[in-house]
Copies of this chain bind each other. A is one copy, B any other.
Amino acid sequence: MTFDPDLLPDGGMLWLDASGPEGNIVLSTRVRLARNLAGRRFTIRAEPADCDTVLAEVERASRASQQLRDAPVIRLQDMDLIERQLLHERRLVSRELAGLEGEGDRGVRPGSALLTDGVVGVMVNEEDHVRLQCLKSGFALDEAYADLERLDAELGKELAFSFHEEFGYLTSCPTNTGTGLRASVLIHLPGLVLTKEIAKVLRGLSQVGLTFRGLYGEGSEVVGNFFQLSNQTTLGKSEEDLLDHLGDMVRKVIEYEEQARHILQRDAPNVIADKVWRAYGLLRYARSLSFEETMNLLSGVRLGVGLNLISDVSVYTLNKLLIFTQPAHLAWRAKKGLDDPDLPMMRASYTRQLLEAEVAR
């Protein structure tokens, strides 16, 4: 089978439309729940046959649910490297599930699969048997969790999840034990970076049990001033406490970011205008762009849009560029390899095309 990445509604990324709250500063909210099937070995120790059984079980349960009744089962084993990386670039599967952990392509575990309707989804045979996830536009922790809770309850009717009276949900890695919940918010903080306040803010977050990462989760570097803020621990707290705490902190960060932007606009309006328009000019006309430069330029333009300096680009297009200019997206589109030397040219060409279409709109 050749996987069709456009099988999913909006490529599996309904959050791109920037329709959610604070959609300009907060790109998306993600919540996931880790679950394992009682009486079965954790994925990491399982035989291939066990994994297949887990997938069959989850598929059966999904069919009985409201949300995933019609969701296609995307089996990662049938997919080549570019297709799996493409799903990862869309933030629909983890590096682990896509078999991208460590050096190069180590292949995927049997029974690795994704079921999703474009908002909620299930990764099967990841580090845990089941990882329920929800990805929403903007700052929407409660809404994302509500969707997920419903799915969790529905699947829980069909599947016996491994649960311990004292510890809560049992997971492959102890850091997830308890609620199995991890929530994260992808947030754009150019104001705090430009005013050099960012280190202080991140330090403050780590003191209250939150952590930050780059666009691609654990271990990924921060580029383009895009930060993923998330809770660090899950044991000993209720889901509501975890979400409330993260929500309060993110609200504060949004406030700091807005203050920083206000200060920049007040004290250095010309420098800022020059910066954001130069970013736009380069994206509009460059013939070769690295992904990192693209992220940085998109960050500049997004700031310009946020400050009402640039009006001929939508946040939707900026979100789309962030995802579709990644290596696997470009390589897949052009039917080339991930190491093709022309990728930077394709990236520039794709970017120009989208920005020109915006102006013509």
A253 touches B (CB below 8 Å): no
Tell me the chain A residues, 205-260 only, with Cβ under 8 Å from chain B.
none
A271 touches B (CB below 8 Å): yes
Q: Which residues of B contact A270 (CB under 8 A)?
A: 287-288, 345
Q: Which residues of B contact A285 (CB under 8 A)?
A: 277-278, 280-281, 284
A286 touches B (CB below 8 Å): yes
A287 vs B284: C-alpha distance when bound (angstroms): 16
Q: Which residues of B contact A348 (CB under 8 A)?
A: 274
Tell me the chain A residues, 277-300 only, with Cβ under 8 Å from chain B.
277-278, 280-288
A284 vs B286: C-alpha distance when bound (angstroms): 12
Q: Which residues of B contact A283 (CB under 8 A)?
A: 281
> Which residue of chain B is the closest to A272 with respect to CB atoms?
B287
> Which residue of chain B is the closest to A280 with respect to CB atoms?
B285
A280 vs B288: C-alpha distance when bound (angstroms): 14
A298 vs B288: C-alpha distance when bound (angstroms): 20
Q: Which residues of B contact A287 (CB under 8 A)?
A: 270, 273-274, 277-278
A24 vs B265: C-alpha distance when bound (angstroms): 42
A210 vs B269: C-alpha distance when bound (angstroms): 48
Q: Which residues of B contact A273 (CB under 8 A)?
A: 287-288
> Which residue of chain B is the closest to A341 with respect to CB atoms?
B270
Q: What 1/0 mask marks residues of chain A from 179 to 207 whose CB sits below 8 Å from any chain B CB?
A: 00000000000000000000000000000
Question: Shortest beta-carbon distance, A280 to chain B, in Å?
Answer: 5
A287 vs B278: C-alpha distance when bound (angstroms): 8
Question: Shortest beta-carbon distance, A306 to chain B, in Å?
Answer: 17
Q: Which residues of B contact A278 (CB under 8 A)?
A: 282, 285-287
A274 vs B287: C-alpha distance when bound (angstroms): 4
Most B C-beta atoms less than 10 A away, residue of A271, A282, A284, A287: A287
A69 vs B248: C-alpha distance when bound (angstroms): 82
- 23 intermolecular pairs with C-beta atoms under 8 Å apart: A270-B287, A270-B288, A270-B345, A271-B288, A273-B287, A273-B288, A274-B286, A274-B287, A274-B288, A274-B348, A277-B285, A277-B287, A278-B282, A278-B285, A278-B287, A280-B285, A281-B281, A281-B282, A281-B283, A281-B285, A281-B286, A282-B282, A284-B285
A interface residues, Cβ below 8 angstroms from B: 270-271, 273-274, 277-278, 280-288, 345, 348
In the A-B complex, the 4 residue pairs with the smallest Cβ-Cβ separation, listed nearest first, are A281-B285, A281-B281, A274-B287, A274-B288
Known: A271-B288, A280-B285. 14 other contacts (CB 8 A): A274-B286, A274-B287, A274-B288, A274-B348, A277-B287, A278-B282, A278-B285, A278-B286, A278-B287, A281-B281, A281-B282, A281-B283, A281-B284, A281-B285
